[in-house]
Amino acid sequence: MQIILIPGLMNDGWIWRHQVGGLSRLAPVTIARTDGCGTLEEMAERIVTGTVGSLVVIGHSMGGRVALEIAAMAPYRLASLIIFDSGARGPSESERAGRMQLVETAQKEGMAAVARDWLPPMLAPTNRQNTGLVHGITEMLERCSPETFALQQQALLTRPDRSALPAQISCPLLAVTGSEDQWAPLAEHEAIASAAPDGRVEVVNGAGHMLPVEAPESAMRILEDFLTR
């Protein structure tokens, strides 16, 4: 068995920096790559074909949606499925304009400008003044190229609706979100967990959309409890 950590939009392995060590004591850990793919299915296929054996798949934000694609593509490979700050629904009619505006900003002004506009609402209000946290996330976002960002946004805008999928997931499923996450609210996670035959939901008080780095100790505790129960 191995643990696959899937980063979200513009993210890389830094988002899991606080969890990799503890998880590596449970099983070998791999951080998935999502760059260079224009659909969530392509991202999922890269993970499935690039690994062998049973998988514990943990995805954050866009990575959670990739995790659901793995569940649709290769359910027999899953030992457990965990999503952080994510969802299962298809794109809304109002989504495109906002996403494409950010892609345009990336192309014209660079990724630092995207971080400036995108990041604040993704953090809990109390964490927006945490200069170390904001600096670390901003550096991570700046490592993403405008080309990769555009492909990821395309993948999200063409994502399938997977609302019916959790009912078909037989492995243990955990949906985790922050109480201050306005982008991926609790109701979405409750719907996913309640539909799954073996699903549960966890809420981290005071955390926003970037939960793995906003509340790293809580995230690690939840993962350890779930994976060793």
List, for residues 153-195, the tens digit of each pLDDT value.
999 999 999 999 999 999 999 999 999 999 999 999 999 999 9
Domain layout of the chain by residue ranges? 2-92+154-228
* CA–CA separation, 49 and 11 (whole Å): 22
Bridge partners of residue 2, in order along the sequence: 55
Rg (CA), the chain: 16
List, for residues 44-77, the tens digit of each pLDDT value.
999 999 999 999 999 999 999 999 999 999 999 9
Bridge partners of residue 3, in order along the sequence: 29, 56
Tell me if the domain spanning 2-92+154-228 has CATH number 3.40.50.1820: yes
Q: Which helix (H) or strand (E) holds 98?
A: helix 95-109
pTM of the predicted structure, to 2 decimals: 0.97
In sequence order, the 6+-apart residues with CB closer than 8 A to the CB of 108 are: none
In sequence order, the 6+-apart residues with CB closer than 8 A to the CB of 77 are: 48, 51, 53, 54, 55, 70
Bridge partners of residue 84, in order along the sequence: 60, 176
Sheet with 173-178: list strands edge to edge: 29-31, 2-6, 55-60, 78-84, 173-178, 199-204
* CA–CA separation, 85 and 144 (whole Å): 20
